[in-house]
C-alpha cells in the first residue's frame, strides 16, 4: 500500500473521496492521512476474497507470528469471526457445547446457523461473584453426556482477563475427535511473553478468533481468525468468511492488522514487558496507599491477564458504576464497570503519563468520595449466591428470532412478575455484551434479580431501555403460536 501510495496515481475508482485532501477543516485534520490509504482491489493491492499477493503475504506472516497454520483478516471484529467459526463448523440441527457466559456474537452465530446448543455453566469466582471459565471436569461430563457434539466453543479469557486450563480442556475435546473453538477476543497478546497466560493456539485449539483491535494495536474492527489441525473443514470456513465479509474490505483496517502483527512480532516482548512494569508499580501503589483493591489470582480461575485491572472500593462506598463516573470526572475513561468493579485496560503503549493521571484521579476520588461516608449496599451484594443456570443445560434449538418479536411495548411485564416466562429478546448489559437472556430463554429468579440490580446501579442495556420502569419483553402464547 505504501508503495502504491508513493506513485500518487490519479484515481478513477471507488472510494468516492479518491484520496483527495478534504475540503473541510475538521475532515482534513482527522481524515487526510487515512483517505490516502483507503484503496480498493487495484493491481498490486490484492483481494481479500482471493488473496495471492500482499494480503496473502500479510495473512501468512500473521499465521507465523501467532502460531497458526492459516490466519484470516477480519474486518468486522471478532463478531464476524465468531459467526464464521460457528457456521463453518456446524450445520442446522447439529449440537454444539457452548460456554454460557459467551458474547452476544456467539449467540447470534448460533441463531444464524440454527444449531442446538448445550450450555455449560462456567465457574463462579468466590471472591468477586464473576463468571470465569469452564471447569475441565464439567467439560468431560458434557462430552460423555453428548457424544454427538460437533465441537466445544468457549471464551478465554473473559472480559476481566480470567482464564481456564485450556490445555486440559483441549486434550479432552480432542480425545472425542471434535474441534475446540475459542473466542479469544481479549487475548490477542497472549503467547508473546512468558509472564502472560499461554495462547489458545499453543493449547492446540482448532479455531481461534482474536480481536486484534482490543489488546493489540489494530484499528477498531480489525480482528483475525486462526486455524490449525485436521479437525475443521478449512474450505468451508473460508467460504463462509467470504460470504460474511464485505466485498469492499477496508484497506486501512487491513493495513493496521498487518502493522499490529509486525509490532507484536518484532517488539512485542519489549512492549509487553514495559506495560507489565507500569502495571506492577500501579498495583503496589494501590495496595499500599489506597482503599481500592483489584482482582488477584484466585481459586476459581487458572490464569489472569496482567493487563486487566478490575478495581473495587474496599470500603463499600462506591459501586463500580460510580467509581467509573468519578474516574471520568478526573479525565480517565475506563473500559467498563459492573455493580462492584471498574475494569481498567492497559495496552502496549500505556505510559508514565497515563499512570500518573490515574494515580492522581484515584487519590482525589479517595479524598472526596470517602468523606461522604455513603453506604453503597449494592456494591457488596453477591448475586451469584443463587446458581444462575444449570451446570449443563438441555439442548436449546436456535434459529432466527425475528418472527417471535411482536410489539415489545405491549408485551413488557415487570421483572418481578417475569420469572418463569420466556424472554422475547436478547437482554444484553453493554459492555460487556454478555447476554443475560437469549430470546426464548426462561427467565430465572437469578436473571430477574440480577437485571434489576444492574439497572438500579446504572447499567445500560442494548435494545432494552428502562428495564426497571417498563419491564421486560416476554413471549406470550399468542406470539409463540404465530
DSSP string, 205-220: -SEEEE-HHHHSSSPT
Compute CA distances 258 → 234, 395, 425, whole Å.
22, 40, 38
Stretch that binds ligand PLP, among 44-52, 73-81, 286-294, 341-349 (CB under 6 A): 73-81
- Closest contact distance (angstroms) between CB of 182 and ligand PLP is 10
Number of residues binding to ligand PLP, judged by CB under 6 A: 14
- Closest contact distance (angstroms) between CB of 179 and ligand PLP is 18
Intra-chain end-to-end CA distance of the chain, in Å: 53
**CA-to-CA distance for 218 and 262, rounded, in angstroms?**
11
Residue pair 191/198 in contact by the 8 Å Cβ criterion: yes
By beta carbon distance, the residue nearest ligand PLP is 77
Stretch that binds ligand PLP, among 72-80, 233-241, 259-267, 438-446 (CB under 6 A): 72-80
The β-bridge relationship of strands 116-120 and 95-99 is parallel
**CA-to-CA distance for 203 and 329, rounded, in angstroms?**
42
- Closest contact distance (angstroms) between CB of 434 and ligand PLP is 7
| CA-wise closest residue to 302 among 189, 169, 472, 393 | 169
Examine residue 90 and tell whether it contacts ligand PLP (CB under 6 A): no
CA atoms lying within 13 Å on the CB side of residue 359: 17
Please, which residue, 139 or 185, has the CB nearer to ligand PLP? 185
Examine residue 433 and tell whether it contacts ligand PLP (CB under 6 A): yes
Among 119, 159, 301, 461, which residue interacts with ligand PLP (rule: CB under 6 A)? 159
Please, which residue, 209 or 379, has the CB nearer to ligand PLP? 209
Among 71, 89, 99, 105, which residue interacts with ligand PLP (rule: CB under 6 A)? 105
Examine residue 217 and tell whether it contacts ligand PLP (CB under 6 A): no
In 174-294 the beta strands, taken as DSSP E runs, fall at 180-183, 207-210, 223-227, 292-294
Examine residue 155 and tell whether it contacts ligand PLP (CB under 6 A): yes
- Closest contact distance (angstroms) between CB of 234 and ligand PLP is 22
Examine residue 335 and tell whether it contacts ligand PLP (CB under 6 A): no
Among 77, 187, 191, 306, which residue interacts with ligand PLP (rule: CB under 6 A)? 77
Examine residue 432 and tell whether it contacts ligand PLP (CB under 6 A): yes
Residue pair 26/244 in contact by the 8 Å Cβ criterion: no
Examine residue 185 and tell whether it contacts ligand PLP (CB under 6 A): yes
Please, which residue, 89 or 376, has the CB nearer to ligand PLP? 89
Report the interhelical angle of 352-372 vs 251-289 (nearest 10°): 50
Q: Which three cell numbers stand for residue 234?
A: 478449512
Residue pair 200/208 in contact by the 8 Å Cβ criterion: yes
Examine residue 183 and tell whether it contacts ligand PLP (CB under 6 A): yes
Among 59, 128, 132, 211, which residue interacts with ligand PLP (rule: CB under 6 A)? 211
Q: Which parts of this chain interact with ligand PLP (CB under 6 A)?
A: 77-79, 82, 103, 105, 155, 159, 183, 185, 211, 223, 432-433
Amino acid at each position: 500500500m505504501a508503495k502504491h501510495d508513493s506513485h500518487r496515481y490519479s484515481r478513477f475508482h471507488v472510494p468516492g473521496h479518491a484520496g483527495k485532501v478534504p475540503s473541510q477543516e475538521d475532515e482534513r485534520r482527522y481524515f487526510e492521512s487515512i483517505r490516502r490509504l483507503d484503496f480498493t482491489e487495484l493491481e498490486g493491492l490484492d483481494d481479500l476474497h482471493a488473496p495471492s499477493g500482499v494480503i496473502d503475504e500479510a495473512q501468512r506472516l500473521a499465521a507465523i507470528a501467532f502460531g497458526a497454520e492459516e490466519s484470516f483478516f477480519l474486518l468486522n471484529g471478532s463478531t464476524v469471526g465468531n459467526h464464521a467459526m460457528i457456521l463453518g463448523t456446524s450445520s442446522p440441527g447439529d449440537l454444539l457445547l457452548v460456554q454460557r457466559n459467551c458474547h452476544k456474537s456467539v449467540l447470534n452465530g448460533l441463531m444464524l446457523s440454527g444449531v442446538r446448543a448445550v450450555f455449560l455453566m462456567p465457574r463462579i469466582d468466590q471472591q468477586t461473584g464473576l463468571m470465569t471459565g469452564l471447569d475441565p471436569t464439567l467439560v468431560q461430563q458434557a462430552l460423555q453426556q453428548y457424544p454427538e457434539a460437533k465441537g466445544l466453543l468457549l471464551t478465554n479469557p473473559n472480559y476481566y482477563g480470567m482464564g481456564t486450563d485450556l490445555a486440559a480442556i483441549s486434550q479432552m475435546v480432542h480425545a472425542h475427535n471434535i474441534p475446540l473453538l475459542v473466542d479469544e477476543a481479549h487475548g490477542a497478546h497472549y503467547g508473546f511473553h512468558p509472564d502472560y497466560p499461554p495462547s489458545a493456539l499453543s493449547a492446540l485449539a482448532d479455531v481461534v478468533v482474536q480481536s486484534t483491535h482490543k489488546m493489540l494495536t489494530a484499528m477498531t474492527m480489525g480482528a483475525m481468525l486462526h486455524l490449525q489441525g485436521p479437525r475443521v473443514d478449512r474450505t468451508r470456513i473460508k467460504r463462509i468468511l467470504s460470504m460474511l465479509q464485505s466485498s469492499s474490505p477496508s484497506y486501512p483496517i487491513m493495513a493496521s492488522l498487518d502493522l499490529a502483527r509486525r509490532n507484536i512480532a518484532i517488539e512485542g516482548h519489549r512492549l509487553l514487558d514495559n506495560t507489565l512494569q507500569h502495571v506492577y508499580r500501579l498495583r503496589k501503589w494501590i495496595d499500599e496507599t489506597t482503599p481500592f483493591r483489584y482482582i488477584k489470582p484466585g481459586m476459581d480461575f487458572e490464569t489472569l491477564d496482567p493487563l486487566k485491572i478490575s478495581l473495587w472500593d474496599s470500603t463499600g462506598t462506591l459501586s463500580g458504576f460510580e467509581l467509573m463516573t468519578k474516574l471520568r470526572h478526573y479525565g480517565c475513561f475506563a473500559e467498563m464497570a459492573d455493580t462492584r468493579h471498574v475494569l481498567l485496560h492497559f495496552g502496549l503503549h500505556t505510559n508514565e503519563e497515563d499512570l500518573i493521571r490515574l494515580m492522581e484521579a484515584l487519590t482525589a476520588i479517595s479524598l472526596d468520595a470517602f468523606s461522604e461516608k455513603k453506604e453503597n449496599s449494592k456494591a457488596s451484594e453477591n448475586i451469584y449466591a443463587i446458581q444462575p443456570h444449570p451446570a449443563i443445560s438441555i439442548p436449546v434449538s436456535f434459529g432466527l428470532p425475528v418472527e417471535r418479536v411482536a410489539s415489545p411495548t405491549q408485551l413488557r411485564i415487570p421483572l418481578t412478575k417475569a420469572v418463569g416466562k420466556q424472554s422475547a429478546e436478547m437482554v444484553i448489559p453493554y459492555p460487556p455484551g454478555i447476554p443475560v437472556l437469549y430470546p426464548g430463554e426462561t427467565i430465572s429468579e437469578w436473571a430477574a434479580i440480577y437485571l434489576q440490580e444492574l439497572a438500579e446501579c446504572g447499567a445500560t442495556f442494548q435494545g432494552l431501555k428502562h428495564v426497571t420502569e417498563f419491564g421486560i419483553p416476554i413471549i406470550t402464547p399468542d406470539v409463540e403460536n404465530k
